[in-house]
Amino acid sequence: MTKYSSNPVDENGIVAWSEDENAIWHDLVIRQLKIVGDRACHEYLEGLKMLNLPIDRVPQLPEINRVLKRETGWQVVPVPALISFDRFFELLANQCFPVATFLRSREEFDYLQEPDFFHEVFGHCAMLTNPQFARFTHTYGKLGYAAPAKQRAYLARLYWFTVEFGLVKENDQLKIYGGGILSSPGETLYALDACQPNREPFELNRVLRTPYRIDIMQPVYFVLEDIESLYTLSQLDLISEIDQAIEAGLYPPLFDAKEALNVE
């Protein structure tokens, strides 16, 4: 369930963002730019320069698409606040990245479980200018679109620990490439600076078998040797790897179970 609904998009791909929404975008971008510069990976920062996102207003989809299409053939497409897994995988399989055209409210300024426009655009679109990342995401979409539900659950873990919450080595330092981190000021600091989370070398079988929760700071991050490793991943027989992970079963979660709601 969601309390948000996407803004309408006209025939030219333009959204009539309000003054309040432009102000929220400005404040989100300014806050995040202060901390990503020395924490995000080189590929993300280069992509952010290419996109040249406006600060004082919400960017429009055609502005973003001009850059993405030129660099990797991708485009962003507007979607409702929530879409089905079928639709999600279908879009990725066609090099289309879904973007919900709403922004979080001031009341949820610091944390939002749903992917809003800021998360999708500021968090993810910069990496979609990178050919290795774009190829991995395209392959992921094609596999997911053809996969049954059980395999999709394991694919979801792969996406979570790469596209959303991935870390990468860069000149012997840890950097961030996951959009779920880079659109969250709290997690951008936590992922690299906090002593609580585990930071483990990326090992596909372990990634596929590691449970996660969407509503907490992550207890574990997986670290790629380099962004080119994503291209290598896209060349593997991922469905065979998933079948092996299904047979082996999940690892115990590194977090407490979410409390069930009391319904009277």
| Annotated catalytic residue within 21, 43, 170, 183 | 183
Token pair for residue 127? Answer: 């990496």
The pLDDT profile of the chain, 264 residues, written as one tens digit per residue, is 578 999 999 999 999 999 999 999 999 999 999 999 999 999 999 999 999 999 999 999 999 999 999 999 999 999 988 899 999 999 999 999 999 999 999 999 988 888 999 999 999 999 999 999 999 999 999 999 999 999 999 999 999 999 999 999 999 999 999 999 999 999 999 999 999 999 999 999 999 999 999 999 999 999 999 999 999 999 999 999 999 999 999 999 999 887 543 333
Let me know: does 220 contact 186? Beta carbons within 8 Å.
no
Q: What is the pTM of this model?
A: 0.95
Amino acid at the residue 48: L
C-alpha to C-alpha distances, 18 to 44, 102, 161, 216, nearest whole angstrom: 28, 11, 34, 31
Determine whether 234 is an active site residue. no
Give the pLDDT of residue 260.
42
Give the pLDDT of residue 262.
39
Q: How far is it, in rounded angstroms, from Cα 164 to Cα 224? A: 13
CATH superfamily of domain region 19-248:
Aromatic amino acid hydroxylase (1.10.800.10)
Determine whether 183 is an active site residue. yes
The binding site for Fe cation comprises 119, 124, 164
Give the pLDDT of residue 1.
56
